[in-house]
Amino acid sequence: MQIKLFFIRKIKALFFKFKLHLFIKPFESIILNLLYLSKLSYWVSKNRNLKFNDFYNKKVKYEDRFKLHKFVIDTEIQDCEFDFFEFGVAEGTSFKWWTEQIKNPNCRFFGFDVFTGLPEDFGVMKKSHYDTKGSTPLIKDARVTFISGLFQESLPLFLNKYDHNDKRKVIHMDADLYSSTLFVLTYLYPYLKENDIIIFDEFGVPTHEFKAFYEIVSAYKFKYEVLGAINNYLQIAIKLI
């Protein structure tokens, strides 16, 4: 034990002394992607036998995500009363789809977004993507509420006023970014309970939604069941147990 600690401390000291970060830094992104791609691959290997799963799908279609959403509604939600939260509304394609699918008048739909694009670049997508010039989607439904602003600012204010009832929650994580996803999941965790559902829209991106999910599960040790996956695990749905 002592010998192991000695070598760990020695390596760290040498790393600092000779500024070895100068050699590593140009490759940090590649190393991080490989690390979390490996973790994601391991996670996938443990979650192959799902009732709903298209793996391996040679023709990934983004719009097929609604097949997963429909599966969740048919098998888990049906006509029950719940609150729906979407983080990353943009033009409201998926948000509107949910309001059209769910007819229960007592359900509520909350959409969070800055409505001015992404807070930061996301892979090939730039900050200007999903910019609606501050306009929220036009959805004529009394059950709908949109909350504008950065999640770090809007979500705490919302939760201070939110009626924390016993309704089931369905959370659609379409925030794309690691930082946004991590913040939302961290802040919502105290309010989550058994049978709440989280749907991830970009789960298959190793260093963003998956990384945030991996770290939240590691930190809080919460238990979940994987309900289904689509587009080779790009989108998944889980239920807290």
What is the Cα gyration radius of the chain? 20
Whose CA is closest to 154, among 208, 110, 112, 107? 112
Res. 144: pLDDT tops 70: yes
| Total domain count, the chain | 2
Residues 201 and 107 grouped into a single domain? yes
pLDDT for 127 beyond 70:
no
Domain final residue pick, 29, 46, 63 = 46
Query: What average pLDDT is seen over the chain?
Result: 93
Do 163 and 91 have their domain in common? yes
143 is written with which tokens? 């059950």
Which positions ≥6 away from 101 have C-beta within 8 Å?
Answer: 69, 70, 73
Distance CA 69, CA 64 (A): 9
Mean pLDDT computed over 226-234: 98
Q: Which residue shows structure tokens 């889980």?
A: 238
Task: Check residue 128 and give its pLDDT.
Answer: 59
Q: Are residues 166 and 236 in the same domain?
A: yes
21 and 116 share one domain: no
Shared-domain flag, residues 68 and 180: yes
Same domain, 71 and 39: no
Q: Are residues 42 and 70 in the same domain?
A: no
pLDDT of residue 121: 63
CA distances from 100 to 8, 21, 85, 105 (A): 57, 52, 15, 12
19 and 96 fall within a common domain:
no
CATH code at position 144: 3.40.50.150
As a whole number of angstroms, the distance between CA 32 and CA 149 comes to 29
* 116 and 73 in a common domain: yes
Tell me, what's the pLDDT at 130? 64
Least confident of 22-26, 71-75, 88-92, 134-138: 134-138
Q: What is the pLDDT of residue 133?
A: 73
| Residues 11 and 77 grouped into a single domain | no
- Write the pLDDT tens digit of every residue in 201-225: 999 999 999 999 999 999 999 999 9
The Cα–Cα gap between 175 and 166 comes to 25
Same domain, 65 and 139: yes
Length of the chain in residues, anyone? Answer: 241
pTM of the model: 0.91
Are 56 and 36 within one domain? no
Per-residue pLDDT band for 115 (boundaries 50, 70, 90) equals confident
Structural domain span for residue 180 = 52-240
pLDDT in tens, 74-100: 999 998 999 999 999 999 999 999 999
